[in-house]
Amino acid sequence: MVSASALTDDIYAALILEMSKEYGVYGETGAFAVSDEQYASYVLLNPSSPYSRWKDLELRAVDWPMTRAIERAQHPDHPISPLEATRLQTWDLGYTKAELPDDGAVPNDWYGTNTHNLYLIANAMKAGIDGDIYEQAALLAGQNNPIIAGNFAVAAQILRRKMLGVPRQQHARLGLREDVLNHFLLARDERDLSEFDAFYLMQILDAEMATWRVGHANGYGKRDLQATFRVARATASYIPPRFPGACLTNGQHDPVFSLEPGVAPCFNDATDRAVFRWYAREFHTEIVGSANGGPRLPPLSRAVAMSRQGGWGTHSWSGFDESTRIEWAEARIARKLFAEGDVPYHTAAVALRKAMQLTCWQQGE
């Protein structure tokens, strides 16, 4: 029986599986010794910049684990070269940007919407958000609530995608509620969405953020991002750029603009990781801070504050930010491979312990 990890071009999961076979127990032989900082230095020209471009990578010698990983991950109609495997890996780990369409035209999928700002659409497309869901999330969240809109847009999109992926008669067995999606899409304002609906959608998002799921094409034919990066990109898609400001009119960053801590970067020219770092700080300030004091939050904000992200960001925004490190990606992959029966429990446990120790050390600084 072929495991799920072999059915999509999830090159990173395939590589970790093959390296664990080649070198033994994960984490105890130095086979996975590369750190987040080391990997960033390998793929980026300036790892400290939110706008860094990729290096012209000089491929290292392709060893047997990578060779087998490519064989495992590729499809008969889509062979993968070693260079493409590295590119896929860097995409999945958040080192790419949300560039404007080359032709400068509004995509066909957005003609029926009221949103024609290409800067916003580029970020929404990178997050894989359909135009109708994008606008409905904005309506329900209200003005000046991009984090709420971004979270519910991604949650509703995930639910729609899951429902389209299986026969309707299996929805109930899988816990996929069409009524909640309809409530979301037809609601005229936040009051039309029940507290149950709001918390259910956040549970859908929580489950996606807790695992590693990449390699599938979104509705625009682009490779889906991890859910953590999707939420950050979706949030950014509700914040129009200001001119003059962090962005130039061509969507690239203004090199003379001073990017102070907490100031929004030029989202279109920033990597997914840089956008998430901004998002993590904003989430801690606006959502966690509001939940810890002041009046009772409205239902949508309360559901987001009580989600998995709320737990991550309770004590420190930097701890939340650490959740996108390569060590956490490996931990999620190892746990997924264990669930599929591909690696033993000890392999997954060592990977998780490594990530947790690193995050705790970072928070304790």
Model confidence pLDDT, tens digit, residues 167-181: 999 999 999 999 999
* Each residue's pLDDT tens digit, 232-284: 999 999 998 888 889 988 888 998 887 777 789 999 999 999 999 999 988 88
Long-range contacts of 335-341 (CB under 8 A, 24+ apart): 335/211, 335/212, 336/5, 336/13, 336/211, 336/212, 337/3, 337/5, 337/13, 337/16, 337/17, 337/20, 340/3, 340/4, 340/5, 341/3
pTM: 0.88
Is residue 3 within 8 A of residue 342, CB to CB? The reply is yes
Report, as an integer, the average pLDDT of 90-96.
94
pLDDT at res. 79: 84
Q: Is the peptide bond before 241 cis (omega within 30 degrees of 0)?
A: no
pLDDT, position 7: 38
**All residues at 6 or more sequence positions from 208 whose CB lies less than 8 Å from its CB, including other chains:** 158, 227
**Three-state DSSP state, 217:** strand
Hey, what amino acid is at 148? Answer: I
Q: What is the mean pLDDT of residues 86-109?
A: 85
Q: Please report which residue ranges of the chain form alpha helices under DSSP H.
A: 11-23, 36-43, 64-73, 82-92, 118-126, 131-141, 146-164, 178-186, 195-209, 227-236, 272-283, 289-291, 299-305, 308-312, 317-321, 326-339, 345-363
User: Of 55-59, 66-70, 188-192, which range is least confident?
Assistant: 55-59
β partners of residue 54: 44
**Whether the Cβ atoms of residue 235 and residue 60 lie closer than 8 Å to each other:** no
Weakest mean pLDDT among 17-31, 264-278, 348-362: 17-31
Amino acid at site 44:
L
For residue 25, what are the CA distances in angstroms to 224, 332, 348, 355? 30, 16, 9, 16
Minimum mean pLDDT range among 69-73, 138-142, 225-229, 272-276:
69-73
**Mean pLDDT of the 31-42 span:** 78
